[in-house]
Structure 1
Amino acid sequence: MASDRTHIACLGAGRMGRGIAVQFAYAGHEVVLLDAKPRDPAAFARLEAEALTEIGDALRTLAELGLFDPARADTILARVRVAPDEQAPEVLSRAGLVFEGVPEILDFKRDILARASGLMAPDAILASTTSTILVDDLSPSVADPARFLNAHWLNPAYIIPLVEVSPGRDTAPETVARLHAILESVGKVPVNCAATPGFIVPRLQTLAMNEAARMVEEGVASAEEIDKAVKYGFGFRFGVLGVLEFIDWGGGDILYHASRYLTGALGHERYRAPEVIERNMEQGRIGLRTGQGFMDYSGLDLESYRRQRLGALVERLRAEGLAKPPVLPD
């Protein structure tokens, strides 16, 4: 609908709201950062200047990195304004999509969401960007839970494509579909996930970050060497092959046996494979070799699939400056 295209509001003018504003303004939307609490004029002026300066700096950096003509930065910035709390009725009544981005304090969020939902248009979407609080812990405060859900952005919000969309038990399917369409229209990649602690990426990365820190603690390797291994091995592959796709590529049986070995060798249950890995083996869902794994490869031209994935890895090599030409004999 038209208001989705031209009227975006962000509740809170902090880092997340500013990052979202960059993304939507870049895509042609008018965005209002709505201050989430009353301030005297001098304090609001400082907040406004700080927010617009940060957004302008981000746009100029993106222009310098070649995303658009630097001469357009001011035009894009002009699509963003910061509004004081007292303008909430006007701002929220005109917005087709509202993102809440206030600090992760449950009661504060509930109060902000209750007030905002009561001022919004009857067909507008309200999305919290919380990274820790489940949507169903917030939805009882919202006037219409059918139009409420969580949209977890990853910082920097205007760079990382992913947005984790977590609907609540009362979120209407059309709300999810509309939010997906809007996010995709501005260049984002939304994925749905259940309302569960950690969503997808934080849950995965918490394990990886803790294990990396543990290896430093145990003297396995230096921080520099571990990060090099992540950049050119672990992360290099998963930027092309998703984690579950990678299990299928190598074979779920390899993960099963590796998990058993590491559990015994390192003496910790955190390496134990989940039951789904064993079930897949029992059912012959090993991956590419059997045509079924976490993904369904039946009917797929496996040779073309492998070539496409290997081609993408070669492009990563080129991007890293590591695709060296062969040395020919003299």
Structure 2
Amino acid sequence: MSPRGHVACLGAGRMGRGIAVAFAYAGHPVTMIDIKQRTPDEFARLQREALGEIEATFATLTRLGLLQATDAAKLMRKVAVAPADTRDGVLAHTMLVFEGVPEIVDLKREVLAAASRAVASDVIIASTTSTILVDDLSGAVERPERFLNAHWLNPAYLIPLVEISPGLATGPEVTERLKTLLEGIGKVPVVCAATPGFIVPRIQALAMNEAARMVGEGVASAEEIDKAIRYGFGFRFAVLGLLEFIDWGGGDILYYASRYLEGALHSDRYRAPEVIEKNMAEGRIGLRSGAGFLDYSGLDVAAYREQRLGALVDMLRHHKLARPPVVD
């Protein structure tokens, strides 16, 4: 496929606009296709709104130093909004389609079915749903082997991660093609099973609910909890992955800490999962044993630790928290 082939977004809402910015920024022409039949005046209003938001986004990226003003004007020429009755003509010349309509199963199935009949047989079609499983939608798609889910995190044009969730019918080569294309525009794709919540929404739902619960319990103010997240929780996990962090300290530490919290707070939501106990029984407790969730065999552990600590120092500098020593 052409590295700068045409990309279509079904829907011109927030997700479609974010994806349009991401692909246009990487040099691809992008068309957001309206899914509703509108009067000419109604469509003109949607078009002004969508293109106006994208233009404002490029202006913001210019102020943030990611674009020159002249670049923003050129990128705007790569983005278009098309009315619903031109859908098939637009899709006939596209290499990749993202569906970004509201989270209504029947509506998504209707839109995906129509799009799958209009595109070429080898065109990848991806839903961007954040809640609906790919196999609940794939039955509506002609040639479902080229269909999968691509969950972007907002703002889609800035956050690198895209969670790819193949369905039972998805061809492995389709997953690889989409990964390659996303990497080509600067994204970091990860592949996960078709399961509710994917990866990030599932983890962040637990963390957000716990933060809200602590406010409700009077543990700390919202401001103090958010400060703790920015400079403790988020600070570390911007460098170390969650499972890597378990290995860093040791799975046994998590196990015993979980047991204490479960008892002290009288809630099984803190209970360690079986995989933690299984790893301990097998001696896979992390860096100290050479393996945990990750394999550290053959790794220069001292160099690895220093590299990660160096990344944390870079974070300190970024937040202007790195201070010189006081030497008397």
Bucket of the pairwise TM-score, normalised by the shorter protein: over 0.9
Runs (4+) of structure 1 exceeding 2 A deviation are none
Other structure's SS at 1:94 match: coil
Instruction: For residues 72-91 of structure 1, give each alpha carbon's deviation from its aligned partner in whole angstroms, at most 9, with x where no partner exists.
Output: 11101110000000111111
The one-letter code sitting in structure 1 at the alignment partner of 2:24 is A
Aligned to 1:82: 81
1:75-114 alignment to 2 at 5 Å? Answer: 75-114=74-113
The one-letter code sitting in structure 2 at the alignment partner of 1:146 is E
Instruction: For residues 252-281 of structure 1, give each alpha carbon's deviation from its aligned partner in whole angstroms, at most 9, with x where no partner exists.
Output: 000000000000000000000000000101
Instruction: For residues 146-184 of structure 1, give each alpha carbon's deviation from its aligned partner in whole angstroms, at most 9, with x where no partner exists.
Output: 000000000000010000000000000110010000000
1:107 CA drift (Å): 0.4
Instruction: For residues 270-293 of structure 1, give each alpha carbon's deviation from its aligned partner in whole angstroms, at most 9, with x where no partner exists.
Output: 000000000101110000000000
1:325 CA drift (Å): 1.1
In the comparison of the two structures, how many residue pairs are matched? Answer: 328
The one-letter code sitting in structure 2 at the alignment partner of 1:161 is P
Aligned to 2:121: 122
CA distance in 1, matches of 2:286, 2:29: 46
Aligned to 1:285: 284
1:233-252 alignment to 2 at 5 Å? Answer: 233-252=232-251
The one-letter code sitting in structure 1 at the alignment partner of 2:159 is I
1:328 CA drift (Å): 2.2
Other structure's SS at 2:284 match: coil
1:1-330 alignment to 2 at 5 Å? Answer: 1-2=1-2, 5-329=4-328
1:70 CA drift (Å): 2.0
Other structure's SS at 1:102 match: coil
CA distance in 2, matches of 1:262, 1:30: 52
CA distance in 1, matches of 2:71, 2:274: 54
Percent identity, aligned pairs only, is: 68
Q: CA RMSD in A?
A: 0.6
CA distance in 1, matches of 2:97, 2:36: 16
CA distance in 1, matches of 2:102, 2:55: 23
1:217 CA drift (Å): 0.3
1:234 CA drift (Å): 0.4
Normalised by the length of structure 1, the TM-score is 0.99
Instruction: For residues 24-55 of structure 1, give each alpha carbon's deviation from its aligned partner in whole angstroms, at most 9, with x where no partner exists.
Output: 00000000000011111000000000000000
Normalised by the length of structure 2, the TM-score is 0.99
1:68 CA drift (Å): 1.9
CA distance in 2, matches of 1:63, 1:216: 38
1:5 CA drift (Å): 2.1
CA distance in 2, matches of 1:193, 1:11: 23
CA distance in 1, matches of 2:25, 2:159: 14
The one-letter code sitting in structure 1 at the alignment partner of 2:283 is G
